[in-house]
Chains A and B, each alone.
Chain A
Amino acid sequence: MLQIRNLHVSIDGQKILRGIDLDVQPGTVHAVMGPNGSGKSTLASVLAGRDGYEIEEGSVTYNGQDLLDMDPEIRAREGVFLAFQYPVEVPGVTTMYFMREAVNAVRKHRGEEELSAGEFLKLARQKIDPLGMEADMLKRAINEGFSGGEKKRSEIFQMAMLEPKLAVLDETDSGLDIDALKIVADGVNSLRSADRSFVVITHYQRLLNYIVPDYVHVLSDGRIELSGDKNLALELESRGYGWINDDVVPQAAAGV
């Protein structure tokens, strides 16, 4: 589904990613962990196509296509979804109107009929209910006046509406209390399927108690220094990221 090869990325001349390699198979959940400044959010932004990132080297292949060559809206229509760390407010535009335009843009791209207002509303109610949100939220302007938890739940709602093939969750757990975290995790788990993959970016292991990953990767200083299964996350939790830098980095550098 997704192959990242030797990806080097800089912002304003400053190197952030220094050779990322990552393979994501359909139906798998990959957690990407790492300390602040390790390049986690840069990776998410580059996958979604945000402007301002210089790709110096490497490639990203998504379902056989060159992902980096696509405009952000085309990536979205092809099934790439980014749950934002800081969802922006768009005053005066209702979530309902926004999502209807988005869902129909994706459907049109796939050669499907656009949804009527009635069909859309039915679908939206169905998706919003399990997230513990009122359908009233649809009538509010995008993220305007939303609490931190509401914003993150709205991201998961949008993901459920758009049914992506590859969902990238950028620190979706940040700023959530334990109840909100569970709701968000349940939302993600209910979307897990054999043809949908997730890249879950997080600083803390906590989220991974609820979204159990198939693979865990540790990003440090722009490189994936270590990969393993869910137990790696637990080890990180008890030993901290310092352990990676002190111990693993020299080994990795030595090719061990």
Chain B
Amino acid sequence: MSSAVEQLEGLTAQEYKYGFVTDIDQETLPPGLTEDTVRFISAKKEEPEWLLEWRLKAFRHWQGMTEPTWPNVSYPKIDYQSISYYAAPKSADDKPKSLDEVDPELLATYEKLGIPLEERAVLAGVAVDAVFDSVSVATTFREKLADAGVIFMSISEAVREHPELVRKYLGSVVPPSDNFFAALNSAVFSDGSFVFIPKGVTCPMELSTYFRINAMNTGQFERTLIVAEDDSYVSYLEGCTAPMRDENQLHAAVVELVALENARIKYSTVQNWYPGDKDGNGGIYNFVTKRGACRGKRSKISWTQVETGSAITWKYPSCILIGDGSVGEFYSVAVTNNHQQADTGTKMIHIGKDTTSTIVSKGISAGVSNNSYRGLVKIMPKADGARNFSQCDSMLMGDRCGAHTFPYLEVRNKTAQVEHEATTSKIGEDQIFYLNQRGIETEDAVSMIVNGFCKEVFRELPMEFAVEAQKLLGVSLEGSVG
């Protein structure tokens, strides 16, 4: 369909809907990164000595590291001295006690994003932690959660209120020296969410964090830590947006999950950072380390991600399956359009016996974008009976984009079973014509075909977010089919 490519281009010209800037009194640290920067952030947050030392150690380690060059992405060298490492709405100096004290301008921002912070207006059963630039501005439903014994607060608060828990688990899954961006994050992380589900508790509602970068020339380095004790369950969702700016902005987050015996953690992401304009100017560099440790027997960690934003995405949500019979899952939809680049996938490390992992990755490339799946399945010598199933499907729209698959397999136990399936298809003109012939417009036909392609992943998302994700996909690919 010759007109299909044109139509695809028209669609991809769709504007990013969350590109507005909030005009708010900000306290921003001048650009630059030295030990003093790290001390400033730590002091600002009134952190205990051990945490400052932890940060400084990470910083010193980072200074000796080099940025990874192995991902299948290209971008100009980042000048880490030209970034500001701390920005906060001024009103956060005396942290609001209740939502009534939150700057109305901030509340309005979240309204615009479709995330009501008013507890009574919040989607039934979803508690929200909102992180604006470097700090958490509001966490809803805290009391109700506290009744169930669940701790859900910003990580800065958790450092003050539950130092023993934070100290025990922080960096235990992603050590500060793990990789370049994790080390940077460990040195300068500003805020993020902390979740603790005690033994035997099923978290009574979905937990959710919305990250928003607002300030200019600012990096966002949030840190999320979720600990699920024996026999507990939690479902957690993160969403992200940023204003449209001409320069690139760095987002280097670290997420750590710990699941003890029989615990289950479901972690879903709908990532919609600003992807840059159609010529590839601006957009977020999303360099993120996400890892979960299934420490207990029969524990389960499930990652579901829908990645539509960012100029460059570099992330591999992973599971370390230590407990016997533990389960790791990774369901991913990654969409790239225009000049976006994504190198994303997962790592499943099987250590315990009878551990199982499932990987379902759906990559969709349009425009002149590049989309790579990179996945490692590693079966250690003691992982008797380990099983993995991987399925990586790529869909191409138009003929100027790229899809790449880099599967790595390391099997050191003869009883392991590993299956890998991969397909690459072009969105079919035949399929579009078939739907057209039944009265369905090309745009709707494309959206139907793409959503069908991603179905196995969408059905893993909590209901409200599955709907959100489908709409988002429609917007990201608008005009992109041919």
Task: Please name all residues of chain B whose beta carbon is closer than 8 Å to the beta carbon of A84 when the two chains form the complex.
Answer: 434, 437
Task: Please name all residues of chain B whose beta carbon is closer than 8 Å to the beta carbon of A165 when the two chains form the complex.
Answer: none
Is A73 on the interface with B (CB-CB < 8 A)?
yes
Contact call A82/B428, Cβ cutoff below 8 A? no
> Can you name the residue of chain A whose Cβ is closest to the Cβ of B459?
A92
Residues of chain B at interface, number, CB under 8 A? 26
CB-CB contacts of A77-120 with B at 8 A, as 1s and 0s? Answer: 10001101001101111000111011001100100000000000
CB-CB contacts of B230-273 with A at 8 A, as 1s and 0s? Answer: 00000000000000000000000000000000000000000000
Number of A-B contacts (CB under 8 A): 78
CB-CB contacts of A220-252 with B at 8 A, as 1s and 0s? Answer: 000000000000000000000000000000000
- CA of A81 to CA of B439, assembled, Å: 9
Contact call B436/A72, Cβ cutoff below 8 A? yes
Task: Please name all residues of chain A whose beta carbon is closer than 8 Å to the beta carbon of B1 when the two chains form the complex.
Answer: 51
Q: Point out the residue from B2, B430, B439 that lies within 8 Å of A109, measured CB to CB.
A: B439
Of the candidates B429, B436, B453, the one having the most CB atoms from chain A within 10 angstroms of its own CB is B436
Is A71 on the interface with B (CB-CB < 8 A)?
yes
CB-CB contacts of B425-447 with A at 8 A, as 1s and 0s? Answer: 00011110111111111101000
From known contacts A51-B433, A84-B434, infer whether A91 and B439 are also in contact, taking CB-CB under 8 Å. Answer: no
Is B455 on the interface with A (CB-CB < 8 A)?
yes
Contact call B437/A76, Cβ cutoff below 8 A? yes
Q: How far is the CB of A155 from chain B (nearest CB, A)?
A: 10
Q: How far is the CB of B224 from chain A (nearest CB, A)?
A: 31
Task: Please name all residues of chain A whose beta carbon is closer than 8 Å to the beta carbon of B428 when the two chains form the complex.
Answer: 88
Prevailing SS type, chain B contact patch: helix
CB-CB contacts of A44-81 with B at 8 A, as 1s and 0s? Answer: 00001111000000000000000000011101110001
Is B448 on the interface with A (CB-CB < 8 A)?
yes
Is B74 on the interface with A (CB-CB < 8 A)?
no
Task: Please name all residues of chain A whose beta carbon is closer than 8 Å to the beta carbon of B448 when the two chains form the complex.
Answer: 90, 93, 97-98, 101
> Can you name the residue of chain B whose Cβ is closest to the Cβ of A74?
B439
Contact call A73/B434, Cβ cutoff below 8 A? no
From known contacts A88-B430, A88-B431, infer whether A101 and B455 are also in contact, taking CB-CB under 8 Å. Answer: no
Contact call B438/A102, Cβ cutoff below 8 A? yes
- CA of A98 to CA of B428, assembled, Å: 16
Contact call B438/A158, Cβ cutoff below 8 A? yes
Contact call B444/A72, Cβ cutoff below 8 A? no
CB-CB contacts of B1-45 with A at 8 A, as 1s and 0s? Answer: 111000000000000000000000000000000000000000000
Is A128 on the interface with B (CB-CB < 8 A)?
no
- CA of A51 to CA of B434, assembled, Å: 12
Task: Please name all residues of chain B whose beta carbon is closer than 8 Å to the beta carbon of A82 when the two chains form the complex.
Answer: 437
Q: Point out the residue from B2, B439, B454 that lies within 8 Å of A73, measured CB to CB.
A: B439
Is B102 on the interface with A (CB-CB < 8 A)?
no
Task: Please name all residues of chain B whose beta carbon is closer than 8 Å to the beta carbon of A81 when the two chains form the complex.
Answer: 437
Contact call B439/A50, Cβ cutoff below 8 A? no
Residues of chain A at interface, number, CB under 8 A? 31
Q: Point out the residue from B439, B442, B454 that lies within 8 Å of A77, measured CB to CB.
A: B439
Q: Point out the residue from B3, B440, B452 that lies within 8 Å of A92, measured CB to CB.
A: B452
Contact call A88/B454, Cβ cutoff below 8 A? no
Contact call B453/A76, Cβ cutoff below 8 A? no
Contact call B440/A101, Cβ cutoff below 8 A? yes
Is B472 on the interface with A (CB-CB < 8 A)?
no
Is A176 on the interface with B (CB-CB < 8 A)?
no
- CA of A72 to CA of B430, assembled, Å: 12
> Can you name the residue of chain B whose Cβ is closest to the Cβ of A78?
B439
Is A188 on the interface with B (CB-CB < 8 A)?
no
- CA of A71 to CA of B445, assembled, Å: 14
Contact call B433/A90, Cβ cutoff below 8 A? no
> Can you name the residue of chain A whose Cβ is closest to the Cβ of B425?
A91
Of the candidates B1, B436, B438, B453, the one having the most CB atoms from chain A within 10 angstroms of its own CB is B438
Q: How far is the CB of B143 from chain A (nearest CB, A)?
A: 39
Is A162 on the interface with B (CB-CB < 8 A)?
yes
Task: Please name all residues of chain B whose beta carbon is closer than 8 Å to the beta carbon of A90 when the two chains form the complex.
Answer: 431, 434-435, 448-449, 452
- CA of A50 to CA of B436, assembled, Å: 9
Task: Please name all residues of chain B whose beta carbon is closer than 8 Å to the beta carbon of A162 when the two chains form the complex.
Answer: 438-439
Q: How far is the CB of B436 from chain A (nearest CB, A)?
A: 4
Q: How far is the CB of A93 from chain B (nearest CB, A)?
A: 4
Q: Point out the residue from B2, B435, B456 that lies within 8 Å of A51, measured CB to CB.
A: B2
Interface residues of B in 432-482 (CB under 8 A from A): 433-442, 444, 448-449, 451-456
Interface residues of A (CB under 8 A from B): 48-51, 71-73, 75-77, 81-82, 84, 87-88, 90-93, 97-99, 101-102, 105-106, 109, 141-142, 158, 162
Q: What would 4 more interface pairs be, CB under 8 Å, given A72-B437, A73-B439, A91-B452?
A: A91-B453, A93-B449, A98-B440, A101-B448
A-B contact pairs, 22 of them (CB 8 A): A48-B433, A48-B437, A49-B437, A51-B429, A72-B437, A73-B436, A73-B439, A73-B440, A75-B437, A76-B436, A84-B434, A88-B430, A91-B455, A92-B453, A92-B454, A93-B449, A93-B451, A101-B448, A102-B438, A109-B439, A141-B452, A162-B439
> Shortest 9 CB-CB distances between A and B: which pairs?
A92-B452, A92-B455, A93-B452, A102-B438, A105-B439, A76-B439, A72-B436, A77-B439, A73-B436
